[in-house]
Amino acid sequence: MPHTRYAPDRGLTARMVTTMFFIGLLYVVFIGVLLALFKGAWPLIVIIAGGLFVAQFWFSDRIAAFSMGAREVTPQQAPELHGAVDRLCALADMPKPRVAIADTDVPNAFATGRNQRNALVCATTGLLRRLEPEELEGVLAHELSHVAHRDVAVMTIASFLGVLAGIMTRAALWGGLSRGSRNNNAGIAVLLIPLVAAVVYVISFLLTRLLSRYRELSADRAGALLTGRPSALAAALTKVTGQMARIPTRDLRKVEPFNAFFFAPALSGESVSLLFSSHPTLERRLEQLARVSAQLGQAGRS
């Protein structure tokens, strides 16, 4: 990880390496099954798998921004947002990412990009309307931590592999079954491939959820330590989470696919099982920030 003033997190690094290892292994096994069943279609399988993976990795920031309706803004268009990002980047000693705004009333923010030089940080208009300046800086410090720790790139790759498994399944079945009677494995594939793809998706989903919950806690801690104002981040968390219940369900459903990348999950009131949640509970996040506040208080008195 390039040097920044964000506090390093060895636990996060270990979890990212472990997640990528197991998901990569799972994906290799999946591709191996496809190649074994559809030997004649292996060029198509390799081209699609490689092409989609490279496209996702290199253009993840643009894909996420486009999907969310985010538009890049200049310092003249959003002086307060750019000013906050400028101050935090100077404080963290890291390159300034591109800055964007998404026109939605859902109060949230996200960061994306494969590295610090290609990162993008986005805040929604709903977030900008609701937060005080110090609260906004707390949220942005949280998001910039994802960029500094590079966990946003790992999450992008890991979450995409499950989607890619589904695309590869359809491509392999189309390529193999189109040969009809010439492919003796066609009947087996109809039963086996959807099952294998489902297993790949479920395991990928659970692994990314485990990593996502830890990385949110890591970003809360790192952002609070950088700014020295954990109370501002706690206030932003409480405000954003409380406002979610007032957002129309149709708006929440539009952004639900991006929950794993958001500052706070966009949910419509009903609690989600911890096993499937992309974020730790609000109570756990606030408890951690209270410990950080106590830690900073002790350091200030010593």
Do 98 and 69 contact (CB within 8 A), yes or no?
no
Count of other CB atoms within 10 angstroms of residue 183: 19
Q: How far apart are CA 69 and CA 110, in angstroms?
A: 12
Q: Which residue has the tokens 């290199």?
A: 58
Residue 132 is assigned to a ligand binding site: no
* Strands in 58-133 per DSSP E: 70-72, 98-102, 109-112, 120-124
Q: How far apart are CA 138 and CA 88, in angstroms?
A: 9
Q: Which two tokens stand for residue 17?
A: 């390496």
The long-range contacts involving 252-261, CB below 8 angstroms and separated by at least 24 positions, are 252/106, 254/104, 255/68, 255/104, 255/106, 255/108, 257/67, 258/64, 258/67, 258/68, 258/110, 260/155, 260/159, 260/208, 260/209, 260/212, 261/64, 261/110, 261/111, 261/112, 261/152, 261/155
Rg over CA atoms, the chain: 21
Give me the active site residues, please.
Answer: 143
Do 240 and 127 contact (CB within 8 A), yes or no?
yes
The CA-to-CA distance between both ends of the chain, in Å, stands at: 31
Residue 146 is assigned to a ligand binding site: yes
Residue 279 is assigned to a ligand binding site: no
Residues belonging to the binding site are 142, 146, 216
Residues belonging to the binding site for Zn(2+) are 142, 146, 216
